[in-house]
């Protein structure tokens, strides 16, 4: 049986003073970097900019790809970009109940391990990470 994969994009937005933008999902309460499913015909960078604006109200610039992640349970491939804020004030939207600037250490404490890894990978130098997970933990 042929399996179909979804492609999603996520942005780890880093402020000039080193804080990370975190969004609390309205549907399950989890904290994570903002992102979502790429639309048909959409470039990766355009998708991450759109998703961050939709979920937080913040305009950003996608700087570089920092990781590729595969959810082995749901067959979702996620491309993560480090981003910088350009304009706007972040706040909750339809899909988010809260949006906050937090330290990288807070991100590791508040986010499920797979989302915390996306943040730490985005803050690291070097080649993009390549990781598999089960939706919560790296495998």
Confidence of residue 4 (pLDDT cuts 50, 70, 90): confident
pLDDT surpassing 80 at residue 3: no
Please indicate, yes or no, if residue 137 is contained in any of the structural domains: no
pLDDT mean across residues, the chain = 96
Contact 58, 22 (CB under 8 A): no
Please indicate, yes or no, if residue 136 is contained in any of the structural domains: no
For residue 26, the SS3 value is coil
> What span, in angstroms and rounded, lies between the C-alpha atoms of 138 and 30?
17
Query: Phi-psi category of 118—alpha, beta or left, where left has phi over 0 and alpha has psi -120 to 50?
Result: alpha
Contact 37, 46 (CB under 8 A): no
The CATH number assigned to the domain holding 83 equals 3.90.79.10
Q: What is the mean pLDDT of residues 75-92?
A: 97
What are 22-80's pLDDT values in tens digits? 999 999 999 999 999 999 999 999 999 999 999 999 999 999 999 999 999 999 999 99
* pTM reported for the whole predicted model: 0.96
Range of the domain at 20: 6-130
Contact 73, 84 (CB under 8 A): no
How many domains, the chain? 1
Please indicate, yes or no, if residue 35 is contained in any of the structural domains: yes
Please indicate, yes or no, if residue 39 is contained in any of the structural domains: yes
- Among the residues of 29-126, which ranges form H helices? 44-56, 104-110, 113-123
Please indicate, yes or no, if residue 135 is contained in any of the structural domains: no
Contact 32, 107 (CB under 8 A): no
């Amino acid at each position: 049986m042929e399996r179909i994969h979804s492609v999603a994009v996520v942005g780890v937005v880093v402020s000039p003073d080193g804080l990370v933008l975190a969004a609390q999902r309205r549907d399950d309460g989890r904290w994570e970097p903002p992102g979502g499913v790429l639309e048909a015909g959409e470039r990766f960078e355009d998708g991450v900019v759109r998703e961050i604006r939709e979920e937080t109200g913040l305009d950003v610039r996608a700087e570089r790809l920092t990781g590729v992640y595969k959810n082995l349970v749901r067959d979702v491939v996620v491309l993560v970009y480090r981003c910088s804020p350009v304009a706007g004030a972040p706040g909750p939207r339809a899909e988010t109940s809260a949006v906050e600037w937090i330290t990288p250490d807070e991100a590791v404490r508040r986010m499920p391990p797979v989302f915390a890894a996306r943040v730490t990978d985005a803050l690291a130098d070097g080649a993009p990470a390549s990781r598999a997970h089960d939706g919560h933990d790296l495998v």
